[in-house]
Amino acid sequence: MSVPHIDSDVIVRVITGDDPVKRAAGERLLATVQTGDVEIALAASTVSEVIFVLTSRGTYAMDRETAKQALLRIVHLAGMRVENRATVLRALDLYNTLATTFGDAMLAATMERQGSTVVYSYDRGLRRIPGITRSEP
């Protein structure tokens, strides 16, 4: 059986409440996910988009810790099927503690889970992530 996915806009509406009607509808949906009556898939790329939107200065300018905690409440719902759950959770921790983008935090968390320590990149910001050696091609 196919599991429906949830998009970032629903999650952002629930977290920010910037549209009360959409927030209420999203909360009703997530209440059924909380009980496990409904299963919903959450793609890792959607998590990345939610973090980007919530923390961007041009949109909500939410601090990293607040964004992380709000997203964790959704990630941990009983019926939420998170793609690469352990990697996403680790990336949220890295993003919250390091001066890096969420994309780089996901890369670092993926590398960590795979036992990889070298990344080929021109992104000098990756030097800030402990345990990763950046090498230019």
Within-domain flag for 136: no
Within-domain flag for 32: yes
For position 118, what pLDDT does the model report?
96
As for how many domains the chain has, the answer is 1
- Sequential DSSP letters for 68-109: HHHHHHHHTSTTEEETTHHHHHHHHHHHHHSSS-HHHHHHHH
* pLDDT tens for each residue of 62-119: 999 999 999 999 999 999 999 999 999 999 999 999 989 999 999 999 999 999 999 9
Cα 120 to Cα 111: distance, rounded to the nearest angstrom: 12
Within-domain flag for 16: yes
Within-domain flag for 106: no
Within-domain flag for 123: no
Within-domain flag for 52: yes
Within-domain flag for 105: no
Residue-range definition of the domain harbouring residue 1 = 1-83
